[in-house]
Amino acid sequence: MQIVSGALHAPKVHFEAPPSSQVASEMERFWDWLQRSAPKGEAPLPAVTRAGIAHLWFESIHPFEDGNGRVGRAMSEKILAQGLAAPVITGMAGTLLQHRKTYYAELERAHRELEITDWLLWFAAKTIEAQQRTLRQVEFILEKSRLLGRLHGQLNTRQERAVLRMFAAGAEGFLGGLSAANYMKITAAPSATATRDLAALVALVAMGALTRTGSNKATRYHLDIAAEPASSLEIADIL
């Protein structure tokens, strides 16, 4: 199994997995280490260290034709949860994919070297960032529930669809805000209906449910929820 890019006549090989005949034995070694390095194993490791090594090791074996990244990221979340006394969710998958290009570059570099300290430091920084993102997402869901409670019974079907679409953008916010043009696209409402619906949203601004910027054709509506993105952490931030 190879991960390649570039033209067919001159491919660049980013990674080459062990031969298929060795995969079973490599997975047995990996599983044995995973058991011994567990919190109650013979040679326990700190959760972040164990998760970082496990993710890199699993990706190095690359046992499946497809889906190795998804399984490896899910495994990291499971291992991080095992290292804590109480159940917790750490959204590693979403955070790593937020840094997709750097993530793949760090994996490729770690695959080519025997020294993995830089990989573990980078992974630890992303673990902290993932925890921040997870907390922000929990706060966002709570704020969403409160805001929908305030709006209950005050929206027509089209307005509700538009507001839910704004929520679907998540804690990072609805890109550009809600304009007349994208309101019409979301709701399939004609221009005159969209104008009336948007005019009615002014009352929601007064309630503190939405904020409004601009005027006339430049008017934009935003959910009145603080959306501070999780800070992006790098190796230097944790040294």
80-113: pLDDT as tens digits: 998 877 767 788 998 999 899 999 999 989 988 8
**Under a CB-based contact definition with an 8 Å cutoff, are residues 47 and 86 in contact?**
no
3-state secondary structure of 24: helix
State the pLDDT at residue 237. Answer: 52
CA angle 30, 35, 39 (to 5 degrees): 130
Token readout for 58 is 């699993």
The residue type at 82: Q
- Pairing status of strand 2-5 against strand 12-16: antiparallel
The residue type at 50: R
User: Rounded to a whole number, what is the distance in angstroms from the first to the last CA of the chain?
Assistant: 36
State the pLDDT at residue 127. Answer: 93
Token readout for 208 is 């503190």
**Ordered per-residue pLDDT tens for the chain, 239 residues:** 666 677 777 677 666 767 788 999 999 999 999 999 999 999 999 999 999 999 999 999 999 988 999 999 999 999 999 887 776 778 899 899 989 999 999 998 998 888 999 999 999 999 999 998 888 888 888 888 888 888 888 888 998 888 888 888 877 667 788 888 888 999 999 999 988 888 887 777 777 677 888 887 788 888 777 555 555 656 555 44
Cβ neighbours of residue 107 under 8 Å, at least 6 residues apart? 15, 56, 59, 119
**Under a CB-based contact definition with an 8 Å cutoff, are residues 60 and 127 in contact?**
no
